[in-house]
Structure formats: structure tokens, C-alpha cells
Amino acid sequence: MKTHVLLCCLTLVLAAPFGCDDDGSKKKTGETLCADGLDNDGDGFADCDDQDCWPSAACQTNNVNNINNANNVNNVNNTNNQVCDGAQDVKDFHWLDKSRTLKIYHGTLSGPALCMAPSQRLAVGALLTYDGGWGNVCTGTLVTDRHFLTAAHCASDWRGNALSASELRVAFGDDADSPLATYEVLSVSVNPGYGGYNAKTGEDHAVLTLDGNPMADHGISPIPISRTSPRPLIGHYVQQAGFGTTESSYNNTRLWWTPELVSGVSDADGELIVDGQGYSSVCNGDSGGPSLYPLQGNVLSVLGTVSWGDPSCVDVDRYARTDWNLDYLDTAIPSFDACAGLTEAGICEGNVARWCEGGLPRTECCDARTGPCAVEGGQARCGERRVPCTDQDFEGACSGDTARWCWGGLVHTRNCAACGSTCVSDAGAVFGAYCE
């Protein structure tokens, strides 16, 4: 865990992503604004070259957009605009809500940037202790119907000895001070390999058994832990969440969200290393909170939990990887059906489609492009999600040095060679064909 400050809450601004896609614009979409030849929002992109116009009907056909690089290779036929100004040309930010800016100072209360159903958002809870009254000190995630994953240092004393169950409670809801539900703790399991502040980061896990069933009681959907190395996510953004300190409150009780850039992965210490880039990251009180990503494109998973990081609360943070600590987690977390009652037929949770496939819970947020969530042929899915991609799925394939995959109901392509990279076919659980 090291001797740096322990982390517990979200803070500061997210920098716009960079790579071979324009993900940083703020155009107000509309048929006129997306077909008038003007850069209406001053981001350097006009009409269908602007990511905010992609959902517009005017931009639904495969059109000629520019790819800008050092060799001035332009006018390559591609679904989305490419700008080769980043460290790597990757399949990135598929899951972000492009309809709103993400540059919200010190995180946002409005919810995650990636696709999550309301019941999944509720899985992120606050860990409470008593000091004249119950108050939140850490964060964690419901990973089964009654098991709560957090940091070992949140559930133990400075020697690494587990706290008494009676000293802890868990609250679910957007505000720990006015929660949807609060549960007492029946038992506390701290990773026996964790020995206090000098332990390896990856050992900083604890699992609490709750005295009730939040899934049955309140419809909270557990989020499974990842069993896959996050190494392929270096250079990509992941979603962080927590109840900790903000720039304006040391006594924050609200749940905040922010993405951070994955800057490294350590196999020696079991670390997922993320960078707030001087803008937005986790802080005191976010310890134990999750780093989330949709593996395989739509399997929302806990990659790790906040362990420690820079005291600035805006720079580099270390998460304890779940895939690195499976020897402990598989003994502390009982066997549980990750689909948690979902079937292949699925359900519409508002405008979010959720279903079980291959023994894993799948999540797809529906929008104007995909069509609303609806039950057709006995299956709840985004209305037009699969129609334009009958010959392509999320993992995609390489065609020479061009990556091709399906997302949001449309086939996307990425000309890797134009950005000085090579297409790699990867059947791994993180993503498929991409450029590196």
C-alpha cells in the first residue's frame, strides 16, 4: 500500500481524450447545424467531422472524412473522423456519453460516463464507521447479492488486523447521509497477505458480508470482479467512483464519478495505475472504490479498488487489481451467478438493455442511433442495435492495416497505417481488433 496518502473520493476535471478520434467537442446537434459547413462550437470540426454530429441522420452514411497526420494522408473513407495526434491509435471511448462535456470540475454528481443501468450505479456504496455518529470513511462495491468489496486498509487497523463487524456498516444510494438502504456487517474478511501500509498494493482487498440482501431488497445489481489483466487498457480511460473528499468538502457524503487515464499496470505489485492528469482523480474517502470498465464491450466489471495515490488528489493513483488477487478473492467471495437472475431474453431498465450471454451480464445503453430498448422476438435489446452490423461484432477484425468493428449499431473502421500504426487482431476480453 505504501506510505502515501490513502484515497477516498473523486475530484477535479477530466481532460479530453486524445487518439485517432475526435472525442472532445461540444456541438449542439441538429440537422441544420450538422449540415451547414460551419464549425458551430469552435472545436475545429464541422458537420460530420464533429463527433457530436454522429447521431444525426445527416451523418448516418459512410462518408469521406479527413485523417490528419504528419504525412497529410487525407480523404480516407471512414465512419468517424480521425486525428492522429495521440500516443496511440486505439479503439477508445466507445462507451462514453458523447452528448455532454466531461470536463466537470472535481468530478460530477450526475453519474458515470460509461454505460451503466440505474441498478448497477447503486452497487457502489459507502463504508461507514461510528464516531459519535455513523459517517462514511471509504467506498466499495456490491459484488454478489450480499458481499461488499472494499480496501483492506478500510476494514483493518494499522497492523492489518480486521476490524470488528460491529464497527462497520454499508450504505447504498447517492448520498451516504440519506441513503436508500443501510446494512450492518456480519463478518469482515481481510486479505491475510495484507500486513498494513507496507503491503503490496494488490493485496489491499477486504470483503464484508452484509446482514441482508441488497439485490433482493432494493433491486441493486451486483458488479462482478474482473479476472482479466487490464494491461490492454493502457492509454484508455476507465470509470472511477467514490464518496470521498471533494475540492469543496472534507465531509462529503455524495457519490462522485470521474474517468481517469490508465497509465500503467504492475504485475509485481498488483497495481492498476491511473492518471488524473492534474485535473480529476480520487481522494481521501474513495479508498476501496471501484475502477470500472465494460470488458468484451458490454460486461461491466470491477478492475480494481482504490488503494493509494498522490496527496494532490489530481494526479497518479494506484488501484488493487482484482485479477491479480484471485487466490484471496475466490475464497472470500462465495460462488455467485454473475447474471444475478438475468436471462438471455433480458430486460429493459429504462433505456438500458440488460441480458445474460455466455454466463455474463451484458449492458447496452440505447440512444437515437441504436433505437430505444424494446422487447422484440422475446428479447430485450436496443431496437436497431444489430441490424447494420450483421457481418461484424464488437471484437471486429483486421482487414490489412484497417481495424473494423461494430459499436452503437454501426460498423466503425480505423485506418491504422494512416496513423503510423498496425492493426492487431486480439480475441482477448478487453477489446478485439485495434491499432497499436
Query: What's the pLDDT tens digit per position in 265-297?
Result: 999 999 999 998 888 889 888 999 999 999 988
Q: Are strands 82-83 and 67-68 parallel, antiparallel or unpaired?
A: parallel
Examine the domain organization and report whether 287 and 422 are in the same domain: no
pLDDT band (50, 70, 90) for residue 100: very low
Fill in the DSSP letter of residue 216: H
How far CA 285 is from CA of 90, 245, 256, 361, in Å, comes to 33, 6, 11, 29
| 348 against 73, higher pLDDT | 348
The mean-pLDDT minimum among 52-56, 65-69, 421-425 falls in 65-69
pLDDT, residue 401, reads 83
Examine the domain organization and report whether 430 and 362 are in the same domain: no
| 112 against 418, higher pLDDT | 112
- Domain of residue 124 covers 1-13+106-336
pLDDT, residue 71, reads 34
For residue 86, being part of any structural domain is answered with: no
For residue 252, being part of any structural domain is answered with: yes
For residue 326, being part of any structural domain is answered with: yes
Cell readout for 427 is 480475441
| Angle subtended at Cα 23 by Cα 18 and Cα 27, rounded to the nearest 5 degrees | 140
For residue 295, being part of any structural domain is answered with: yes
Examine the domain organization and report whether 270 and 355 are in the same domain: no
Whole-angstrom distance, CA of residue 364 vs CA of residue 123: 17
The mean-pLDDT minimum among 58-67, 96-105, 226-235, 407-416 falls in 96-105
Examine the domain organization and report whether 413 and 378 are in the same domain: no
| 81 against 365, higher pLDDT | 365
Examine the domain organization and report whether 374 and 411 are in the same domain: no
Other CB atoms within a 10 A radius of the CB of residue 189 amount to 19
For residue 342, being part of any structural domain is answered with: no
CATH code at position 268:
2.40.10.120
In sequence order, which residues have a C-beta less than 8 Å from that of residue 71 and are 6 or more positions away?
none
Examine the domain organization and report whether 318 and 373 are in the same domain: no
For residue 40, being part of any structural domain is answered with: no
H or E element that contains 332: helix 326-332
The mean-pLDDT minimum among 44-58, 62-76, 333-347, 402-416 falls in 62-76
For residue 239, being part of any structural domain is answered with: yes
Give the three-class secondary structure for 366.
coil
Examine the domain organization and report whether 195 and 277 are in the same domain: yes
Domain count, the chain: 3
Prediction pTM value: 0.72
Over residues 385-421, the pLDDT tens digits come to 444 566 666 677 888 888 777 655 567 777 778 777 7
